[in-house]
Amino acid sequence: MYNSRRTFLKQAGLGLSAAFLSPYLSSCKGSALTDDPFSNVGIQLYSIRDLINEDPISTLSTVSKIGYKHVETFGFDSADGTYWKLPVPELKKVLDDNNLKTHCGHYDMSKYLNRKLTEYENIEKYIETAHQLGQSYIVAPVTPMDDLNNLKPEDYQYAAEQLNRFGEMAKKAGIKVGYHNHFWEFRHFANGTKGLDILIAFTEPELVDFELDLFWIEKAGLSPQSYFEKYPGRFPMWHIKDMDRQYTKPVVGEEYDDADFLDIMKEVRYTEVGAGAIDFIRIADYADKSGLKYAFVEQDDIYLRNKFESIKKSYDYVTKRLVK
């Protein structure tokens, strides 16, 4: 069973046919690199987590062949110092061999940001690893998830203080800390403020930046542009992720704020970038305002059978429609 699945993955995904890749690769020859974050779009590797866990070397090779210039990592195992069973120096070599860079990585900080706990992840190891990979940002991918419906302003204030402390440590290695949002950071507290606003207000701009997930802010019923206007320069990283046109109802508000997480997720469905409801062309006009440096395609769940076909569709849209 295992061997059959492995063979299928290689044939259907990892071993993309020449008919699928050749026309694209031919069209890319001679294309000039620019500093434009959309021309040089990256991908959050969580989008293809099953493939990269199965065969990280072949997966990264295909990601490069599709055209992606850099990758955002996830899944670091600090206990043995590996990504997907690859030691960090080996991963760096695989990236170099495929002309891929990694500017940012998601590192688990769910304990470190939890004011109820005193034992944390090995954040010193995160700094060492990010430095080895040449990353500029260590990003907290999520708040503590154990009690989302009871997060209070004090929880966000504590998280901000912890991000500042981490930022001070990382600064010595030339690295900044970042935070990536979901939908619950946009829930209203009694005084009208929101969790993300607290994080931004209580973090030092020279130490902490933010990675705006365009899908999740839209799914919260807000516009990315409103945050770029309110906090110019604080969002040098974007997750470009699209929303199925049949699933556009916001999941923030009285109906949802006390709902079970799994019930809320029934109202969520993703699609390839450009195929859904989000107007990325208008959002892209705010790249300079936001301070954008690195843009990443992300799709939390891919429904196409061939996941490389999915991330190629998203890559094509970003590089053809968002580049000025």
Which domains occur in the chain, in start order?
41-322 (3.20.20.150)
Q: Is 274 helix (H, G, I), strand (E, B) or coil?
A: coil
Whether 318 shows a pLDDT value over 50: the answer reads: yes
188-205 average pLDDT score: 96
pLDDT at 195: 98
- Is pLDDT larger for residue 198 or for residue 5? 198
259 backbone dihedrals φ, ψ, rounded to 5°: -75, 160
Determine how β-strand 82-83 pairs with β-strand 86-87. antiparallel
49-76 pLDDT, tens digit each: 999 999 999 999 999 999 999 999 999 9
242-300 pLDDT, tens digit each: 999 999 999 999 999 999 999 999 999 999 999 999 999 999 999 999 999 999 999 99
At 78, is the pLDDT very low, low, confident or very high (cuts 50, 70, 90)? very high
Question: Reading across the β-sheet that carries 86-87, which strands appear in turn?
Answer: 76-77, 82-83, 86-87
Q: At what angle do helices 56-66 and 18-28 cross, to 10 degrees?
A: 50
Q: Distance between CA atoms of 106 and 311, rounded to whole angstroms? A: 19
Whether 212 shows a pLDDT value over 50: the answer reads: yes
CA distances from 248 to 186, 188, 207, 267 (A): 16, 20, 34, 8
Q: Is 62 helix (H, G, I), strand (E, B) or coil?
A: helix
HEC sequence for 281-303: HHHHCCHHHHCCCEEEECCCCCC
Q: Distance between CA atoms of 101 and 96, rounded to whole angstroms? A: 7
pLDDT at 2: 36
What's the distance, CA 37 to chain centroid?
Answer: 14
Q: What average pLDDT does the chain have?
A: 92
State the DSSP H helix or E strand holding residue 169, giving kind and residue range, or none if neither: helix 153-171
pLDDT at 230: 98
At 112, is the pLDDT very low, low, confident or very high (cuts 50, 70, 90)? very high
120-160 pLDDT, tens digit each: 999 999 999 999 999 999 999 999 999 999 999 999 999 99
